């Protein structure tokens, strides 16, 4: 599998930016909206956007259960920001009826870093990414409030966990797809190749 096929969940959010970043990181990238499309990919990215809307659309498109099943079965998956929220087994400050896919034994707090106008950028040291810190773009970003014993913490910002991995599932509070630096996407593509 030298060029893995990686889907980007295309219900809502910054899908196009991830498609570009994945292609530049040597994957074959394609949008995924339906269960049949999900069945064809070697890995999946859940983009940034608005997790409450994404949750609703995942139910409406009948893709929530298939997503849960494939992630549970070991599909390499990477979520950024709203995508991180979708990969949390439990969330805080979510909407009452908000569903997640789950996959990482963590509790994620939505909008933890504040409102839209408190969005910021910061250099983030990222375990497993060589070549110096990555530029973290945080937009109404969540943080990871707590993790279970099998979760590896890959990055923190001011004592808050902002990048984590459990098995084949990776999540960041911030948006590497919005910078020209695709090292985090390369890390994920390597995870998919190794899976
Ligand atoms: N605050 C958004 C949510 O709850 C996430 C923001 C983002 O993805 N940039 O889904």
Which of 17, 18, 157, 177 is an active site residue?
Answer: 177
Helices (H), 25-166: 35-38, 51-60, 64-72, 82-86
pLDDT in tens, 125-161: 999 999 999 999 999 999 999 999 999 999 999 999 9
Query: The tokens of 117 are what?
Result: 């106008």
Among 157, 175, 182, 185, the one annotated catalytic: 175
Would the CB of 53 count as within 6 Å of ligand 1? no
> Is residue 122 a contact partner of residue 160, using CB atoms and an 8 Å limit?
no
Domain boundaries, the chain: 5-194
For domain 5-194, say whether CATH 3.40.190.10 is its number. Answer: no
Q: Which atom of ligand 1 is nearest to the CA of 51?
A: 10
pTM score, whole prediction: 0.97
d(CA 120, CA 98): 26
20-33 burial: b if 16+ Cβ within 10 Å, else e: ebbeebebebbebb
Six-digit token string for 49: 């956007």
């Amino acid at each position: 599998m030298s060029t893995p096929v990686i889907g980007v969940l295309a219900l809502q959010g910054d899908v196009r930016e991830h498609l570009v970043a994945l292609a530049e990181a040597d994957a074959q990238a394609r949008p995924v909206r339906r269960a049949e499309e999900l069945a064809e990919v070697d890995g999946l990215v859940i983009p940034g956007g608005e997790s409450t809307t994404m949750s609703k659309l995942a139910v409406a498109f009948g893709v929530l259960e298939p997503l849960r099943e494939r992630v549970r079965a070991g599909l390499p998956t990477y979520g950024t920001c709203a995508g991180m929220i979708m990969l949390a087994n439990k969330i805080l400050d979510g909407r009452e009826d908000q569903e997640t896919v789950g996959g990482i034994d963590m509790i994620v707090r939505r909008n933890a870093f504040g409102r839209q106008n408190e969005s910021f950028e910061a250099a983030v040291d990222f375990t497993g990414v060589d070549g110096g810190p990555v530029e973290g773009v945080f937009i109404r970003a969540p943080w990871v409030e707590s993790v279970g014993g099998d979760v590896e913490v890959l990055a923190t910002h001011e004592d808050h966990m902002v990048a984590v991995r459990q098995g084949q599932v990776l999540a960041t509070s911030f948006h590497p797809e919005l910078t020209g630096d695709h090292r985090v996407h390369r890390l994920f593509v390597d995870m998919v190749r190794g899976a």
